[in-house]
Amino acid sequence: MSMKSLGTIAAVVLLSLGLGSCATYQHYYEMTFFITSTGNGKGADFGGLEGADQHCKALANAAGLGGFRTWRAYLSASPNRSSPTVNARDRIGSGPWHNIKGVLIAANLAELHGKNNLNKQTALTEKGTIVNGRGDNPNMHDILTGSRPDGTAFSGNDDRTCRNWTSSSEGSAQVGHHDRMGLRDDVPSKSWNSSHPSRGCSPEALKESGGAGLLYCFAAN
């Protein structure tokens, strides 16, 4: 089926759901990036990368968008006996990526990991809502990534992925600040994808450092 045909079907579905105008339809159809509006209730344990992708897909489906895109969580994973290193930047396609309002986040991978347009006002959820940041109650600006600033996985023995996104107890996860704010006026504090390790992998531990088990979701196609 062609993208034009899919677009026609999407328009009919959105109109039937009361989403109405052509402008609204266009924004939903263009959306290729969002922050999850909720975690899965298990902290950083998504059952691995596939489970994290399914979480993105489920929320996109609930917003009426899942059938048109292949959604991937922006997560890296460390090598182990059964799988090689996985870099978050290699999972999400080549761009461009827009939020639900049609605002450009980044045109390509180089821009995403350079001077992008990702901030508190543009990094919206699949529902079009703003995610709490530093100064809000509760603060939820720690977004799980497990990644270095260039979107690649960490090397070495330190766990930065909560055991490759299967642990809600032991380990730690590298997080980024979607609002580009932190305790200090430095590069890590302003990093969207690599600010600091979490205090743990449980919902409570993520909350203590300013997170809620949220993910960046990108359309890979």
Give 93-124 pLDDT, tens digit per residue.
999 999 999 999 999 999 999 999 999 999 99
Confidence band for 157, pLDDT divided at 50, 70 and 90: confident
| 148 part of a folded domain | yes
Question: The domain that contains 173 carries what CATH number?
Answer: 3.10.100
Whether residue 217 is predicted with pLDDT greater than 70 in this model: the reply is yes
Quickly list DSSP for 63-129: TT-GGG--EEE---B---SS---B-GGGTS-S--EE-TT--EEESSHHHHTSS---STTT--BTTSP
Confidence band for 158, pLDDT divided at 50, 70 and 90: confident
Q: Which of 189, 191, 179, 106 is nearest to 150 (CA)?
A: 191
Cα distances (angstroms) measured from residue 66 to each of 13, 61, 71, 145, 176? 12, 4, 8, 22, 25
| 106 part of a folded domain | no
User: Which pLDDT value is given to residue 82?
Assistant: 73
* Percentage with pLDDT > 90 across the chain: 76
| 170 part of a folded domain | yes
Confidence band for 75, pLDDT divided at 50, 70 and 90: very high
| 23 part of a folded domain | no
Name the phi and psi angles at 190, rounded to 5: -95, 5
Confidence band for 28, pLDDT divided at 50, 70 and 90: low
Residue 112 tokens read as 């995403």
CA gap 118, 99 in Å, rounded: 10
| 65 part of a folded domain | yes
| 27 part of a folded domain | no
User: Which pLDDT value is given to residue 66?
Assistant: 65
- Stretch 134-160: mean pLDDT, rounded? 95
- Stretch 82-96: mean pLDDT, rounded? 94
| 126 part of a folded domain | no
Condensed to tens digits (0 to 9), the pLDDT of residues 62-73 reads: 998 867 789 999
Average pLDDT, the chain: 89
Whether residue 36 is predicted with pLDDT greater than 70 in this model: the reply is yes
What 8-state DSSP symbol labels residue 174?
Answer: E
Distance in angstroms between the alpha carbons of the first and the last residue of the chain? 15
Helix, strand, coil % in the chain, rounded to nearest 5: 25, 15, 55
Cα angle: 152, vertex 179, 169; to 5 degrees: 60
Whether residue 14 is predicted with pLDDT greater than 80 in this model: the reply is no
Domain around 211: 35-94+132-219
User: Which pLDDT value is given to residue 6?
Assistant: 43
User: Which pLDDT value is given to residue 29?
Assistant: 58
User: Number of folded domains in the chain?
Assistant: 1
- Stretch 159-166: mean pLDDT, rounded? 96
Name the phi and psi angles at 55, rounded to 5: -65, -45
3-state secondary structure of 15: helix
Rounded to two decimals, the pTM is: 0.87
